[in-house]
Amino acid sequence: MANNLKKDTAGIKQVKRKSGYKYQARISINGKYHHLGTFDNFDDAYKARQSALKKLPQKEKTHYVKKSSLVDLTGEKFGHLTAIRKLPYDGTNNNIWLCQCDCGQTAKVVSSALTRGVRVTCGGPAHQEEHTKKGRKAIKEKLYVDNLAVGRIDSSKVKKSKRNTTGVTGVWFSKQKNKYIAEIKLDGVKSYLGSFKTLEEAKAARLETERKILEQHPRKK
């Protein structure tokens, strides 16, 4: 079986029946799936699909290869995880693999999470610090330039506060002055940009200050 699993398994699905595991073969023609039958073993399902492909007109043949959940991952390394064996059918459409982590723990992981690089550790305590450091580093690289949190002042990308009534980050209306106040906050320091009669003027002052700061400290794209 292990050798057969290395073949193109697109269009072949492993299913559980009362009599045991079976293999269903299907083919896609013009976006519609056609069932080719249910077989006792993988080889028969594979042959049925290949035979159906050969009978199709050239323009309708589906030439695609994908990493199927049936592919044998035994012994393959995914980050800190090594796939040990495929676990028995659990009643879902997921294919679960038992994996050994470098830290000594084991984990049950969906095959697609392994092949796509979504899961690379067991998630145990030994890796929590690693995940935290990576997360903090990613946030810092995204928001900070020259140790300044310039990513927090770009009003086109920063989520507005629920208390914001003007629709413009850093601009609020002062009832006492009967004017719009523009300000900007960078690394905890709030700077007053001025008071204006109209919202448009206050918005322009805020955006101009943003532009100058972002030009002086350009962020990585």
Q: What is the pLDDT of residues 120-153, one digit of tens each?
A: 888 887 776 665 655 555 555 555 565 566 666 7
Q: What is the pLDDT of residues 24-41, one digit of tens each?
A: 888 877 667 788 899 998
Question: Mind giving me the DSSP string for 114-131?
Answer: HHTTS--S---HHHHHHH
**Residue of 180, 213, 177 whose CA lies nearest to 196:** 180
Q: How far apart are CA 114 and CA 123, in angstroms?
A: 13
Q: What is the pLDDT of residues 76-125, one digit of tens each?
A: 888 889 999 988 766 565 678 999 999 899 999 988 888 777 788 888 87
What's the pTM value of the predicted model, to 2 decimals?
0.37
Domains and CATH numbers, the chain: 4-60 (no CATH), 77-125 (no CATH), 150-216 (3.30.730)
Dihedrals phi, psi of 84, to nearest 5 degrees: -95, -55
